[in-house]
Amino acid sequence: MNRFVIADPDKCIGCHTCEVACVVAHAGNNMFVQEESGADFYPRLTVVETDEVTAPVQCRHCEDAPCANVCPNGSITSKDNSIFINQDSCIGCKTCMLVCPYGAITMVPAHKGGQKQLQSGLRSNTSGAWSRKERIVANKCDLCEDSGKGPECVRVCPTNALQFIVPSQIEDSISRKRLASAQSLQQFSGFSRL
C-alpha cells in the first residue's frame, strides 16, 4: 500500500507554512538567487481556504493511480510505496492533471541545477523575438523522497494538522478497531439462535 500525507481541516490555520517548507525542501535556500525574472515558487501542495474549510490539498498516491494510467509515455510509475512522476521524460501533455480527482497536479517550468530548462526545437515568439520555449512538466507531492527525512510539510506545521500515513500505521489502526469490535461482541455472547 502507498504512503501519503493528509491534512486535518479542523487543525489547519491557513498559515501556508507547509507550502513554503515544500518549496524550500525542493529548491534549497537558493530559490531567490537564480538570475531569472519572476518568482519560481511552486509548492507541491495547495492550501485551500473557503468560509467552511481550510486545509492543504496534496497527492493521495492512489493505489490505482488515474494519472499513471493515462500517462501516454509511462512517465508516472509506482515506486517505493508512492506514485512518482519522472519529470525528465514528462512531455507536459496535462492529461494527468485533468484526471486527478484531487486537483493535486500542477504544471511548472522544469529546472535543472537552478536553471530553467529550454526545449531543443520548440520556439515561441514573445514581444517580437523568437526564443526557445521553456519545458513545462507535471509536478506533485513526492513525499520529499530525496531528503531521506520524510515529508517536510508534516514536520513544520505549527498546529500538527498534517499526518504522514504509512501502511503499517493503517494496519495497526485497523487491528485495534477489529479488536475493539471483537470485544464489543462479548456482551452478546450466548444469545439464542434466531
Return d(Cα 75, Cα 138) in angstroms, integer. 10
> At closest approach, how far in Å is the CB of 54 from another protein?
7
In the complex, least distance from residue 158 CB atom to another protein, rounded to whole angstroms: 6
Binding residues for another protein, rule: CB under 8 A, are 13-17, 19-21, 23-24, 29-34, 37-41, 46-47, 49, 54, 155-156, 158
Q: How near is the Cβ of 33 to another protein at its closest, in Å?
A: 4
Q: Report the nearest approach of another protein to the CB of residue 183 (Å).
A: 40
Q: Kindly report the backbone phi and psi dihedral angles of residue 92, in degrees, each rounded to the nearest multiple of 5, phi listed first.
A: 70, 35
Using CA atoms, how far apart are residues 36 and 53, in angstroms rounded to an integer?
A: 36
**Pick 41 or 174: Cβ nearer another protein:** 41
- Of 23 and 118, nearer to another protein (C-beta) is 23
Q: 10-32: buried (b, 16+ CB within 10 Å) or exposed (e) per residue?
A: eebeeeebbbebbbebbbeeebe
* 21/65 with CB nearer another protein: 21
